[in-house]
């Protein structure tokens, strides 16, 4: 490994950094002003790329190769910006009054719809775009060949950074954006047309993402998987740089890209006698960087503490305790579910699906416990689900533990993980908290994914079937139902206990809570550990229900599923996550039989729910109840 | 703040109404399908996460299904295909399998693309004693270390594909090899197998670089440069899909692989070769499916029927889908029944005629001896093709039955 090659790889990294920066910058602008966690941001990037690879060859015969290439990029950028404006006006504008994070649900649905729309329009095969006319060669540098286009990209990032900087600093529009980033209510109070500003900001952010995608035309084929893979990177870069800070995002992009380039350049190295392949670290490098940065600097490199969100719509009503009549009604509901195995004699699939619903309910309820009463939206809750599942699977298959003991060991594993990671996470607020949980989840995921000897690597573990009496569908189902009910009961008890009040006090005003003697950090830590433990129980049940477990159980997708369930059901009600989990599982099962475009269908249903009941199913039912 | 009693009764109503709705939904959703008169084949696959491979796969299956049914079906009964998306993960896949078995009352299950999904479904099949023909997952574990009585596999495994490339790799007599592979089980085991087989055949080789890249997220510039810096005179590549396209483009621009001899897994499959068009790296020795250069009458018949039905050329997925259905039809015919145990017995040693010619399902490890084509990449009229493709019979690269027994400790 020579110095030259390291230096050359560093230059290489700058080109990748520009790509990362472009997709992150748009996300940062959008979040800064609208507070929307835009899950569809990767989709805008993907659309930019697809439009560009279609437009460039189509335009070239008319206006020449070079003009066609750059014209294709320009038109793709503008088209995506326009789509962004449209999405804001038609969809998101209706949701600003909904509780925080509901826009996340809407943009997630959008992600599903766009991904299927792209499949429909462009087909399943990858499309490799043309090379950039005039920039298709390479320049000699340090005795190696650097593609001209990489050089161009390495310069394009800083150029866009400069352009955005000037826009934000020197124009009235930029001043408004900065003002709105700091205090959106004040901007509105000063008579600025907020709706127009939001539309413009969303269009700008989407356009920058579209540009980022379009510029990759010369480097990577348009394919259907990039929306999600880019999304994760974009979040990391935005958060490491500090939300809302554009120059921070650039610095973070450079940092992440350089760390990856270094890992790749080092290749196989000897560490204490063991040959370790550093290139395997590229799987998780960005999340390691993010975890480290957030632990040392809770608001990212250049971020400032977020101003408190003054728009918390209304103080939400305190959860009401159950009376006798309520208890009877809940018992009836429980009895209905307990009777499912009896139905199972006629509908053999009912207990199978009901089992998935019950496990999802515990998963969602445990997430809701920290999200709702705790006010901490975790984006990495799947980590504890996965730890529980893997703990149980390991105990059952490798240690030969009996089912109940393996189950307990799964819970124990999750509890340890949650206690450890929680200690770091609860010190952070809002979206930084969410991202640190995500980083830990990704780190756990990458360890599980690569630790072949213990976890079975990417294939996971199988043969994790429970022993008698849980080996019959009904036996496992009833056991799972009992565990879930116990978990729900425990959560309910805790929410109504002084601990729950302390937790909510910390959420609503951590300053006042501290002043009245509540150790907010410790309360949140305990809540986090409890949520992780219960989630681990759900995970352990999952492992036994499926007989196998694989790294997907820890993936971002699983964490997002949890968020969707909670939001779909309603954050402001303890019933919400249960309804959301049941509804989501059922819905997914139904639409997945439509193998053609089920993702779009799922997205459309979620959109409909979001628009009709902006506070989730529970909120909708509540409204219906009020109307009577 | 509203009065507590009101919010209380609202809570009850929410709870009860919600639970009732969920149970009602559960019932509606799980109504059994209609009674089984046709032979019902349950199929599950990652249609959403792997559309490039599975869209042609589905077309291939449909074509075979139509042909079989037009010829009067099997045992006098028509075949019916019930396809499900497995969500690309074992959790959803096992549920889909249970749904097919319990609700749709299918006679057997088939499909799956991803290795971990295939393994999970195979384990489910073992537990529930359901016949499972794994169509595409490549992992060696499926038929060897984790093989089971109820699971058979059609497509050539990772080991077989690597072994097919080995003669070309050793014939090149290169000393300094670099490996590049996606960082998950398929890539890792392909690289391990290649290293083991190569070192056995040519003990003096040196592995000078090893790049394990995140699946779908390769940092192609850095990876090609790191390989070029190690100055290998030969490269073994396992990348496919978008990763392959990025890698090839960067390598071309940087001249990173100039003078190096490259062997590459799966790169000749139209799914991965077609997108490369005129940037196809000439001279790579690959496994794949040269649909344009197979003169056998079996393949000609398949090709004509496929193009007549869909107006497009087949991909490897089409071959796999088509051959899967043909295998199932042959197996049921031989078993004379859809009984699981009889199917297992029938598939052991079952001979099938597919577009690639005849092959058998080995009794020793339940692996089909279906082969693949090995050839050298070149560019013709602006698109990538395999030149001088040779069909390698799967039986010629599989270990003997005695060796297989050692690799397959757990199975029946």
For A83-99, what is the mean pLDDT? 88
Distance from CA of B164 to the nearest CA of A (A): 24
Domain annotation covers residue B73: yes
| Pairwise CB contact (< 8 Å): A219 & B220 | yes
pTM of the shown model: 0.88
Q: For the range A171-175, what are the long-range contacts, defined as Cβ-Cβ under 8 Å and sequence gap of 24 or more?
A: A173/A200
Residue that the structure tokens 């897994």 belong to: B265
Dist. CA A273–CA B283, nearest whole Å: 38
Residue A474: per-residue pLDDT: 84
Beta-carbon separation of B51 and A119 below 8 A: yes
Of A450, A547, A621, the CB nearest to B14: A621
Averaged pLDDT for residues B113-135: 94
pLDDT over 60 at B369, yes or no: yes
Q: Which of B11, B209, B216 sits opposite A225 (nearest CB)?
A: B216
Please indicate, yes or no, whether residues B87 and B153 belong to a single structural domain of this protein.
yes
Phi, psi for A384 (deg, rounded to 5): -80, -35
Contacts of A348 in chain B (CB under 8 A): 30, 32, 102-103
Q: Which residues of A touch B32 (CB under 8 A)?
A: 346-349
CB contact under 8 A, B8 and A265: no
Contacts of B243 in chain A (CB under 8 A): none
Asked if A436 contacts A424 with a C-beta cutoff of 8 angstroms, the reply is yes
Report the chain A residue with the minimal C-alpha distance to residue B126.
A463
CA distances from A385 to A77, A410, A618 (A): 40, 9, 24
Domain identity same for B49 and B142 = yes
- Contact assignment for B8 to A546 by CB distance below 8 Å: no
CA dihedral B16, B19, B23, B26 (to 10 degrees): 150
Give the three-state DSSP class for B388.
strand
Ranges A405-409, A470-474, B52-56: which has the least confidence: A470-474
Contact between A431 and A32 under an 8 Å Cβ cutoff? The reply is no
| Cβ-based neighbours of A169, under 8 Å, separated by 6 or more | none
Same domain, B212 and B283: yes
Distance separating alpha carbons of residues A350 and B72, to the nearest angstrom: 35
- Predicted confidence (pLDDT) per residue in A216-245, tens digit: 998 889 999 899 889 888 988 998 998 878
Partner residue facing B14 (CB), from A145, A146, A622: A622
- Helix/strand number for chain A, H first, E second: 26, 6
CA torsion through residues A381, A386, A389, A390, sign: negative
Q: Which residue has the tokens 């095969």?
A: A125
- Domain count across chain B: 2
B109 Cβ contact partners less than 8 Å away, ≥ 6 residues apart: B41, B42, B43, B44, B97, B100, B101, B121, B125, B130, B131, B132, B133
Residue B22 lies in a domain: no
Distances (CA, A) of B198 to B164, B207, B266: 12, 10, 18
* Domain identity same for B181 and B226: yes
Whether B100 and B184 share a structural domain: no
Q: How far is B305 from chain A (nearest CA, A)?
A: 22
Residue B82 pairs in a beta bridge with: B42
| C-beta atoms surrounding A283 within 10 Å | 22
If asked whether residues B321 and B284 sit together in one domain, one would say no
Assess whether pLDDT exceeds 60 at residue B7.
Answer: no
CA distance A149 to A367: 45
Cβ distance B90 to A349 less than 8 Å, yes or no, reads no
pLDDT for B34 equals 47
Tell me the C-alpha distance between A469 and A487, whole Å. Answer: 21
Same domain for B193 and B182, yes or no, is: yes
pLDDT band at A627 (very low <50, low <70, confident <90, very high): low
Q: What DSSP string describes B59-71?
A: HHHHHHHHHHHHT
A329 has a pLDDT exceeding 80:
no
**How many CB atoms neighbour CB B105 within 10 A?**
16
Q: What's the CA gap between B381 and B278, in Å, rounded? A: 8
Helices H / strands E in chain B, number of each: 14, 14
**Residues of chain B contacting residue A573, judged by C-beta atoms under 8 Å apart:** 11, 14
* Per-residue model confidence (pLDDT) at position B3: 39
Q: Is residue B402 part of a domain?
A: no
Burial (CB count within 10 angstroms: exposed 0-12, middle 13-18, buried 19+), residue A144: buried
Using pLDDT thresholds of 50, 70 and 90, give the confidence band for residue B410. Answer: low
H/E segment holding residue A549: strand A548-549
**B82 domain-assigned:** yes
Would you say residue A313 has pLDDT above 60? no
Cα–Cα distance measured from residue A33 to residue A35, given in angstroms and rounded to the nearest whole number = 6
Domain with CATH 1.10.3470 in chain A: 3-131+147-296, 328-573
| B410/B412 Cα distance (integer angstroms) | 7
A536-592 pLDDT per residue, tens: 999 999 999 999 999 999 988 899 899 999 988 888 888 889 999 999 999 888 888
Residues near A298 by beta carbon (within 8 Å), at least 6 away in sequence: A427, A428, A429, A432
Query: Which residues of chain B have a CB within 8 Å of the CB of A465?
Result: 127
**Residues B380 and B253 both lie in one domain:** yes
Note whether B15 contacts A575, CB cutoff 8 Å: yes
Q: What single DSSP character describes residue B277?
A: G
Q: What is the pLDDT of residue A272?
A: 72
B296 token code pair: 């056998």
Alpha helices, DSSP H, located in A138-284: 148-170, 172-182, 184-189, 194-215, 226-241, 246-266
Candidate from A2-6, A98-102, A330-334, A422-426 with smallest mean pLDDT? A98-102
Considering only the beta carbons, identify the residue of B212, B216, B225 that sits closest to A279.
B212
Is residue B286 within 8 Å of residue B265, measured between CB atoms?
yes
Rounded CA-CA distance B203/B208 in Å is: 15
CA B24-B29-B34 angle, 5° bins: 125
Average pLDDT of the segment spanning B385-408: 93
What six digits make up the tokens of A247? 């120059």
Domain ranges, residue B301: 39-157+295-371
Q: In 3D, which of A574, A553, A517, A297 has the Cα closest to residue A424?
A: A297
Which residues in A251-266 are b (16+ Cβ under 10 Å) and which e? bbbbbbbbbbbbbbbb
Cβ–Cβ below 8 Å for B185 and A354: no
* CATH value at residue B207: 3.40.50.2300
Q: What are phi and psi of B215, to 5 degrees?
A: -60, 125
pLDDT of residue B4: 40
Q: Report domain A3-131+147-296's class.
A: mainly alpha
Query: Does residue B350 lie within any of the structural domains?
Result: yes
Look at residue A495 and tell me whether its pLDDT is greater than 60.
yes
Find, in chain A, the residue whose alpha carbon is nearest to that of B118: A459
Higher pLDDT pick, A327 / B175: B175
- How high is the pLDDT of residue B2? 39
CA dihedral B322, B328, B334, B339 (to 10 degrees): -170
Residue B30 pLDDT: 64
The mean pLDDT value of chain B amounts to: 91
Q: Given an 8 Å threshold on Cβ–Cβ distance, is A621 in contact with B223?
A: no
Counting every residue written for chain A, the total comes to: 628
| Contact (CB<8Å) B14/A15 | no
CB–CB contact B184 A621 (8 Å): no
Distance from CA of B351 to the nearest CA of A (A): 30
Q: What is the DSSP letter of A274?
A: E
Q: Which of A313-317, A500-504, B22-26 has the highest mean pLDDT?
A: A500-504
**Could you tell me if B147 and B70 lie in one domain?**
yes
CB contact under 8 Å between A457 and B184, yes or no, is: yes
Choose which CATH entry (1.10.1200, 3.90.380, 1.25.40, 1.10.3470) describes domain A328-573.
1.10.3470
Q: How many CB atoms lie within 10 A of CB A171?
A: 11
Q: Stretch A607-620: mean pLDDT, rounded? A: 81
pLDDT of A595 strictly over 80: no
Distance from CA of B327 to the nearest CA of A (A): 23
Residue in A279, A325, A625 nearest the CB of B213 = A279
Q: Do B7 and A317 touch (CB under 8 A)?
A: yes
Are A365 and A488 spatial neighbours (Cβ–Cβ below 8 Å)? yes
User: Which residues touch A171 (CB under 8 Å, ≥6 apart)?
Assistant: none
Length reported for chain B: 412
The DSSP symbol for A99 reads P
Check CB contact under 8 Å for B15 and A333: yes
Per mean pLDDT, which of A133-142, A572-581, B365-374 is the most reliable?
A: B365-374
Contact of A214 with A48, CB cutoff 8 Å: yes
Backbone angles phi, psi at B353, to 5 degrees: -105, 120
- Helix B297-310 × helix B316-335 angle, to 10°: 110
The pLDDT of residue A306 is: 63
- Whether the ipTM is more than 0.85: the answer is yes
pLDDT greater than 80 at residue B8: no
Partners of residue B92 in chain A, C-beta under 8 Å:
592
Residues with Cβ < 8 Å from A211, sequence gap 6 or more? A22, A48, A73, A76, A77, A80, A160
pLDDT band at A490 (very low <50, low <70, confident <90, very high): very high
**In this predicted structure, what is the pLDDT of residue B37?**
82
User: For residue A317, what pLDDT is reported?
Assistant: 66
Mean pLDDT over all residues of chain A? 88
> Based on the domain organization, do B390 and B336 belong to the same domain?
no
Mean pLDDT of the B13-41 span: 70
Residue B214 with chain A: CB contacts under 8 Å:
282-283
pLDDT-derived band at B29 (thresholds 50, 70, 90) equals: low
Q: Do A146 and B254 touch (CB under 8 A)?
A: yes
Beta strands in A237-339 (DSSP E): 268-271, 274-277
- Which residues, listed in sequence order, are joined to residue A270 by a DSSP beta bridge? A275
Q: Tally A–B CB contacts below 8 A.
A: 306
Whether residues B234 and B307 share a domain: the answer is: no
Rounded Cα gap, residues B271 and B39, in angstroms: 31
B231 and B378 in a single domain? The answer is yes
Handedness of CA A264, B89, A231, A309 (dihedral sign): negative
* Spatial CA neighbour of B181 closest among B237, B245, B250: B237
């Amino acid at each position: 490994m020579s110095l030259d090659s390291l230096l050359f790889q560093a230059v290489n990294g700058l080109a990748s950094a520009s790509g990362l920066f472009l997709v992150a910058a748009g996300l940062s602008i959008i979040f800064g002003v609208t507070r929307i966690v835009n899950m569809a941001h990767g989709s805008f990037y993907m659309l930019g790329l697809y439009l560009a690879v279609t437009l460039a060859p189509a335009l070239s015969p008319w206006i020449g190769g070079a003009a066609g290439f750059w014209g294709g990029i320009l038109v793709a950028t503008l088209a995506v910006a326009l789509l962004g404006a449209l999405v804001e006006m038609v969809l998101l504008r209706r949701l600003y009054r909904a509780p925080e994070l509901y826009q996340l649900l809407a943009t997630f649905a959008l992600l599903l719809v766009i991904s299927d729309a792209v499949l429909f329009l462009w087909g399943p095969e990858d499309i490799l775009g043309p090379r950039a006319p005039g920039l298709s060669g390479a320049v000699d540098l340090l005795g190696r060949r650097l593609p001209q286009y990489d050089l161009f990209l390495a310069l394009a990032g800083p150029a866009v950074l400069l352009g955005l900087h000037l826009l934000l600093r020197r124009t009235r529009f930029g001043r408004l954006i900065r003002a709105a980033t700091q205090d959106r209510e004040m901007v509105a109070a000063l008579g600025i047309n907020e709706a127009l500003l939001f539309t413009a900001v969303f269009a700008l952010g989407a356009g920058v993402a579209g540009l980022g995608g379009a510029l990759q035309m010369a480097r990577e084929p348009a394919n259907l998987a990039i929306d999600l893979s880019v999304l994760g990177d974009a979040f990391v870069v935005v958060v490491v740089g500090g939300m809302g800070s554009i120059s921070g995002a650039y610095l973070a992009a450079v940092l992440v890209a350089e760390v990856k380039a270094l890992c790749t350049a080092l290749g196989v190295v000897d560490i204490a006698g063991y040959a370790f392949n550093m290139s395997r670290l590229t799987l998780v490098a960005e999340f390691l960087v993010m975890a480290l940065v957030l632990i040392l600097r809770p608001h990212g490199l250049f971020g400032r503490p977020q101003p408190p969100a003054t728009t918390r719509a209304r103080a939400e009503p305190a959860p009401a305790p159950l009376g006798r009549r309520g208890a009877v009604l809940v018992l009836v509901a429980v009895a209905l579910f307990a009777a499912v195995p009896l139905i199972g004699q006629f509908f053999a699939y009912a207990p199978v699906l009901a089992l998935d619903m019950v496990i999802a309910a515990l998963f969602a309820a445990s997430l809701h416990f920290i999200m709702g009463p705790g006010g901490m939206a975790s984006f990495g809750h799947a980590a504890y689900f996965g730890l529980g599942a893997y703990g149980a699977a390991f105990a059952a298959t490798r240690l030969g533990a009996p089912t109940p003991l393996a189950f307990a060991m799964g819970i124990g594993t999750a509890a340890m993980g949650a206690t450890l990671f929680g200690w770091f996470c609860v010190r952070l607020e809002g979206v930084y908290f969410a991202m640190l949980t995500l980083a830990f989840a990704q780190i756990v995921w990458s360890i599980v994914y690569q630790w072949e000897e213990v976890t079975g690597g990417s294939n996971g573990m199988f043969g994790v079937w429970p022993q008698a009496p849980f080996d019959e569908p009904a036996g496992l189902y009833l056991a799972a139902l009992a565990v879930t009910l116990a978990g729900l009961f425990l959560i309910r008890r805790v929410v109504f206990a002084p601990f729950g009040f302390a937790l909510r006090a910390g959420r609503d005003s951590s300053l006042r809570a501290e002043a009245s003697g509540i150790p907010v950090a410790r309360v949140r830590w305990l809540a986090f550990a409890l949520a992780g433990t219960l989630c681990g129980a759900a995970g352990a049940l999952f492992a036994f229900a499926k007989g196998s477990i694989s790294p997907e159980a820890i993936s971002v997708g699983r964490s997002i599923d949890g968020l969707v369930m909670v939001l779909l059901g309603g954050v402001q009600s303890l019933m919400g996550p249960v309804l959301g989990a049941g509804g989501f599982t059922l819905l997914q099962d139904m639409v997945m039989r439509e193998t053609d475009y089920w993702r779009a269908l799922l997205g459309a249903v979620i959109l409909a729910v979001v628009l009709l009941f902006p506070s989730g199913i529970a909120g909708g039912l509540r409204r219906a109840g009020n109307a009577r | 703040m509203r009065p507590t009693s009101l919010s209380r009764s609202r809570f009850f109503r929410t709870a009860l109404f919600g639970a009732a709705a969920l149970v009602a939904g559960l019932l509606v959703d799980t109504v059994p399908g209609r009674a089984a008169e046709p032979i019902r084949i349950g199929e599950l696959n990652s249609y959403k996460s792997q559309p490039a491979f599975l869209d042609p796969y589905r077309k291939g299956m449909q074509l075979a299904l139509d042909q079989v049914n037009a010829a009067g079906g099997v045992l006098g009964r028509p075949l019916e295909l019930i396809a499900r998306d497995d969500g690309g993960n074992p959790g959803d896949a096992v549920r889909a399998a249970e749904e097919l078995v319990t609700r749709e009352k299918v006679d057997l299950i088939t499909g799956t693309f991803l290795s971990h999904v295939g393994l999970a479904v195979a384990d489910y099949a073992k537990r529930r004693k359901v016949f499972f023909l794994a169509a595409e997952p490549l992992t060696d574990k499926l038929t060897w270390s984790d093989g089971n009585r109820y699971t058979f596999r059609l497509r050539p495994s990772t080991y077989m594909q690597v072994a097919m490339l080995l003669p070309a790799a050793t014939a090149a007599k290169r000393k300094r090899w670099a490996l590049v592979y996606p960082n998950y089980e398929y890539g890792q085991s392909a690289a391990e197998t290649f290293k083991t087989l190569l070192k056995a055949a040519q003990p003096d080789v040196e592995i000078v670089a090893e790049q394990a890249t995140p699946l779908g997220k390769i940092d192609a510039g850095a990876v090609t440069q790191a390989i070029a810096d190690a100055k290998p005179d030969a490269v073994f590549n396992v990348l496919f899909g978008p990763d392959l396209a990025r890698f090839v483009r960067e390598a071309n621009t940087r001249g990173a692989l100039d003078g190096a001899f490259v062997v590459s897994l799966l790169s000749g499959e139209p799914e991965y070769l077609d997108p490369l068009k005129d940037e196809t790296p000439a001279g790579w020795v690959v496994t794949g499916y040269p649909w344009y250069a197979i003169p056998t009458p079996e393949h000609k018949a398949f090709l004509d029927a496929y193009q007549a039905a869909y107006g497009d050329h087949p991909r490897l997925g089409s071959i796999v889908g088509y051959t899967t259905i043909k295998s199932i039809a042959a197996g049921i015919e031989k078993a004379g029944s859809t009984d699981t145990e009889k199917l297992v017995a029938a598939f052991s040693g079952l001979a099938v005629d597919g577009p690639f010619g005849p092959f058998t399902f080995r009794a020793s490890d339940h692996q089909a001896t279906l082969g693949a084509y090995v050839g050298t990449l070149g560019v013709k009229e602006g698109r990538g093709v395999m030149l001088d493709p040779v069909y390698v019979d799967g039986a010629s690269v599989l270990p003997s039955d005695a060796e297989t027994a050692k690799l397959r400790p757990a199975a029946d």
